[in-house]
Amino acid sequence: MDGRALSRAYFEDVVAPLLARRFPGLRYAAARLGTGSDVLGFDDAVSQDHDFGLRLTLLTPHDRINEVVESLDAELPADYRDWPTRFSTSWARDARPQIEVTSASDFGRSRLGVDATAPLSVTDWLSLTGQAVLEVTGGPVFADGAGELTAMRQRLEWYPHDLWLHLLACDWTQAGEELSFVGRSASRGDDLGSRVLAGRLAHVGMHLGFLLERRWPPYSKWLGTAFARLPRASAALPGFRAAVAAPTWQEREDGLAEGFAALGRLQGELGLPATEPVTVPHFDRPFRRVADIARLLLEEIVDADVRALPYGVGNIEQVSAATKVLVDARRRRDLMSSLTTGGAG
């Protein structure tokens, strides 16, 4: 049984009856959210070596949290389907029920760093990682009597339209600034540098693919797995795969051009500004660059706060790859606030 199915059965067979008996009429939400490969359905046998088991997120009113925690601790059985209901994790060494009981607003803040039960500012949106949002929206919901979790997940479905255009433009800008370097660096004998650039640009392209699909990207461990499952943007996968495996810079450039061309076609199919061809000669040099797709996207933006954002400065995942920043909500928001000073608040 995979983790999500195990959590659902645990809730339906054990936790829901306990809550109905002890707290009749309590309006709560129950789901498998937060951390863990099973939240997104990526778990396998290896996943079970840590932090795996009977885990749930339970969202209740603030004034009921303590009594719900106490009842669960006192009344849960010792095990369910041969899995212990009390066990230690990498963040809590004492064996206890791994049911996170909190309120909807506090749960959102713990993952996102912002209160997603209320409208978000531009800087709030820019501070979100795809993984943080998926820890709220990616897992299955088993019950939502109050409706707060559902409303929060709906608010986090996707960026506001003009901010989406800005972020698309940022990825196209990054690709445009570095594509020609793949050949230029190799022509000076720096084959390793050329390979690194090809990998970096493939990553930019993958992020662009998630944006075009309006899907939140998971963190690095699952990025390629999730990208391959995108229904349309995954058409870029053969090109990017060829680029990172190619022995020559010409083949790397060809692969990247193929991948970005697929994404450019998808962008046009979505009714967004696009160009054909996507890559063009880099002036009179024997390399290629990306056509000025970013400018076309930026010209479509009408929201004043988004138009005031610095050119080419996107969301937190587009400006930082530092894990200690990406997993820290306060640092994410502080960084984005500093980068957007004079723009949106």
How far is the CA of 269 from the CAs of 21, 233, 290, 294, in angstroms? 53, 11, 19, 17
Alpha carbon distance 233, 227 (integer Å): 8
CA-wise closest residue to 303 among 159, 117, 89, 143: 159
> How does pLDDT run along the chain (345 residues), one tens digit per residue?
799 999 999 999 999 999 999 999 999 999 999 999 999 998 888 887 778 899 999 999 999 999 999 999 999 999 999 999 999 988 888 889 999 999 999 999 999 999 999 999 999 999 999 999 999 999 999 999 999 999 999 999 999 999 999 999 999 999 999 999 999 999 999 999 999 999 999 999 999 999 999 999 999 999 999 999 999 999 999 999 999 999 999 999 999 999 999 999 999 999 999 999 999 999 999 999 999 999 999 999 999 999 999 999 999 999 999 999 999 999 999 999 999 875 443
CB of 72 within 8 A of CB of 88?
no
With residues binned 3-state (H G I as helix, E B as strand, rest as coil), the percentages for the chain, rounded to 5, are 55, 10, 35
Alpha carbon distance 338, 31 (integer Å): 35
Q: Where in the chain is the domain with CATH 1.20.120?
A: 161-302
Give 118's strand partners: none
* pLDDT score, position 90: 85
Question: What does the buried/exposed string (b/e) look like for 310-336 if buried means 16 or more CB atoms within 10 Å of the residue's CB?
Answer: eebbbbbbbbbeeeebbeebebbbebb
- Degrees, nearest 5: CA angle 215-220-222: 65
**CATH tag, 161-302:** 1.20.120
